[in-house]
């Protein structure tokens, strides 16, 4: 029995759920529950008593062993004929095994950091801090994925992507703070606002061609930025200082950092596979055709306007979702989330990682943010002169960008894929 691509996702999802549940169930069965709690809360408190310990925990050990075994199984399926012997699971591993392994690494990494720093994943410390860093990375990765959908896959150049991201953070906060909407209704309302903004931007802007469209999107985003910082709206938006709002305890990234880490990870994974599924569909093929040769696609009878509008709306929806997540993490919003940096950062991440690739924007987001965070407090001493690397991050980023463009002209993933295809073609000769 072999699996079809339709069922590979279900098989992989079931495997990942099993890997994640085994250590959690064992922790719940062996831990000390809180006697004041009942039901699922009591069960969860027992699990927390195990995986919230400092250093290397049984939960971390199990997850590390599972990840190692999975990596070994993946090597078997990729480099031997093991995929056919494993049947449906083998075919699923061969197709999506790399992505699954990356996801397992992200699941286990808080426990690895806790082990290496002798800290807890639930209490303030090194592991707790790095969880927040990775939450930021997941948010930026979703934003980069959304930009790549519009720019890399569809060929629509936009300089106003920050409008979606910023309005996601603002709208969820304003709806919860001023209108007292429940969190779930505020999230839905924010996503709908993002769709409306995308429709307005697309319907009006797509009638303008080329560079003029890009400039229109820039002006469009700046309108929201200026409104957010306008002192006439201080009572609503807090002007340049922004505003804060309360979130439920279970959504509080300070009180429940590990839960929010996995929540952000799940949303990031869903965004990744949504775009992947779209681009492997007939609609995605048309979007790629528009990017490669819009005139030819139009001659074949495709409605260019409609398909570009689909790309803008879906990209706007994902970027708004990233902004909503950012607003909930920070429990507030300020004009900074509408600034140009949240347009140019995903653009850089997409170009560096590889535009028009699935993993490229993700690698760009992870690489840039983690390198920046690592170098933030680094001090380099040369001849008695101390140079704070973090203060010169913009310069370092510029040099990195130049080097990457020279060494990887199609981005990291794009160039590697091209070289791999050349190597495979040479092996066939």
Question: Under DSSP, is residue 219 helix (H, G, I), strand (E, B) or coil?
Answer: helix
pLDDT band at 1 (very low <50, low <70, confident <90, very high): very low
Per-residue pLDDT at 8:
64
Confirm if 128 and 120 have CB atoms less than 8 A apart: yes
Mean pLDDT calculated for residue range 204-215: 88
More confident residue, 189 or 97: 189
Q: Is the pLDDT of residue 15 over 50?
A: yes
Using CB atoms within 10 A of its CB, is residue 389 exposed (0-12), middle (13-18) or buried (19+)? middle
- Residue 243 main-chain phi, psi, to 5 deg: -150, 165
247: region left, alpha or beta (phi > 0 left; psi from -120 to 50 alpha): beta
Q: What is the rounded (10 degree) CA torsion for 86, 89, 92, 97?
A: -80
Where does 298-390 show beta strands of DSSP type E?
A: 332-333, 379-382, 385-388
C-beta atoms surrounding 418 within 10 Å: 15
pLDDT above 70 for 91: no
Write down the pLDDT at residue 7.
60
d(CA 319, CA 191): 9
User: Across-strand partners of 24?
Assistant: none
What is the model's pLDDT at position 426?
A: 82
Domain borders along the chain are 1-123, 124-429
**Residues 6 or more apart whose Cβ sits within 8 Å of residue 64:** 108, 111, 112
Helices (H), 55-125: 58-79, 82-85, 88-117
Q: Is the pLDDT assigned to residue 81 strictly greater than 70?
A: no
Q: What is the pLDDT of residue 162?
A: 95
Give the separation between CA 153 and CA 130, rounded to whole angstroms. Answer: 32
Task: Judge contact between 324 and 213, C-beta under 8 A.
Answer: no
Whether the Cβ atoms of residue 47 and residue 28 lie closer than 8 Å to each other = yes
The CATH number assigned to the domain with range 124-429 reads 1.10.3470
Task: Note the pLDDT tens digit of each residue in 267-304.
Answer: 999 999 999 999 999 999 999 999 999 989 999 899 99
Is the distance from CB of 386 to CB of 379 less than 8 angstroms? yes
Mean per-residue pLDDT, 70-74: 84
- C-alpha 88 chain-centroid distance: 29
DSSP assignment, residue 410?
A: T
Q: What is the pTM of this model?
A: 0.93
pLDDT tens per residue across span 306-331: 999 999 999 999 999 999 999 999 99
Q: Which pLDDT does position 387 carry in this prediction?
A: 74
H-helix or E-strand spanning residue 387: strand 385-388
| Percent of the chain whose predicted confidence (pLDDT) is above 90 | 65
What per-residue confidence (pLDDT) applies to 3?
42
Helices (H) and strands (E) in the chain, counts: 18, 4
- φ/ψ (deg, to 5) at 157: -90, 125
Rg (CA), the chain: 23
Give the pLDDT confidence of 225-267 residue by residue, as tens digits.
999 999 888 889 999 899 999 999 889 999 999 999 999 999 9
pLDDT digits (tens, 9 = 90+) for 149-195: 999 999 999 999 999 999 999 999 999 999 999 999 999 999 999 99
- d(CA 115, CA 60) in angstroms, rounded, equals 8
45-55 mean pLDDT: 92
Residue with tokens 């591993």: 93
In order, the DSSP letters of 115-145 are HHHT--SSSSSHHHHHHHHHHHHHHHHHHHH
Nearest of 242, 270, 265 to residue 253 by alpha carbon:
265
């Amino acid at each position: 029995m072999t699996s079809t691509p339709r069922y590979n996702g279900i098989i992989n999802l079931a495997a990942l759920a099993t890997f994640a549940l085994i250590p959690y169930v064992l922790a719940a069965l062996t831990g000390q529950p809180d006697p004041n709690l009942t039901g699922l809360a009591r069960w969860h408190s027992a699990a927390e008593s195990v995986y919230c310990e400092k250093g290397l925990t049984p939960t971390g050990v199990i997850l590390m062993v599972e990840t190692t075994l999975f990596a070994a199984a993946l090597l078997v399926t990729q480099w031997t004929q093991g995929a056919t012997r494993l049947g449906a699971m083998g075919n699923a591993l061969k197709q999506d095994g790399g992505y699954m392994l990356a996801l397992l690494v992200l699941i286990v990494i808080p426990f690895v950091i806790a082990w290496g720093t002798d800290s807890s994943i639930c209490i303030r410390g090194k592991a707790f801090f790095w969880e927040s860093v990775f939450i930021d990375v997941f948010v930026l990765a979703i934003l980069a994925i959304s930009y790549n959908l519009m720019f890399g896959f569809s060929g629509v150049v936009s300089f106003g992507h920050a409008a979606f991201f910023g309005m996601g953070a603002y709208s969820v906060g304003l709806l919860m703070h001023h209108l007292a909407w429940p969190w779930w209704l505020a999230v839905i309302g924010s996503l709908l606002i993002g769709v409306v903004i995308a429709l307005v931007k697309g319907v009006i802007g797509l009638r303008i061609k080329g560079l003029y469209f890009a400039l229109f999107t820039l002006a469009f985003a700046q309108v929201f930025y200026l409104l957010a910082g306008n002192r006439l709206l201080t009572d609503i938006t807090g002007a340049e200082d922004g505003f804060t709002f309360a979130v439920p305890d279970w959504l509080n990234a300070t009180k429940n950092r590990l839960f929010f880490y996995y929540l952000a990870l799940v949303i990031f994974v869903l965004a990744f596979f949504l775009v992947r599924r779209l681009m492997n569909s007939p609609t995605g093929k048309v979007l790629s055709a528009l990017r490669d040769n819009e005139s030819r696609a139009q001659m074949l009878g495709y409605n260019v306007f409609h398909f570009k509008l689909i790309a803008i709306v879906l990209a706007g929806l994902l970027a708004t979702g990233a902004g909503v997540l950012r607003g909930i993490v920070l429990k507030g919003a300020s004009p900074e989330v509408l600034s140009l940096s949240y347009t140019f950062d995903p653009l850089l991440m997409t170009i560096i990682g590889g535009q028009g690739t699935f993993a490229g924007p993700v690698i760009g987001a992870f690489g840039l943010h983690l390198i920046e965070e690592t170098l933030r407090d680094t001090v380099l001493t040369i001849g008695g002169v101390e140079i704070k690397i973090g203060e010169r991050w913009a310069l370092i980023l510029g040099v990195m960008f130049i080097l990457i463009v020279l060494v990887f002209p199609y981005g990291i993933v794009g160039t590697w894929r091209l070289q791999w295809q050349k190597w495979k073609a040479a092996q066939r000769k």
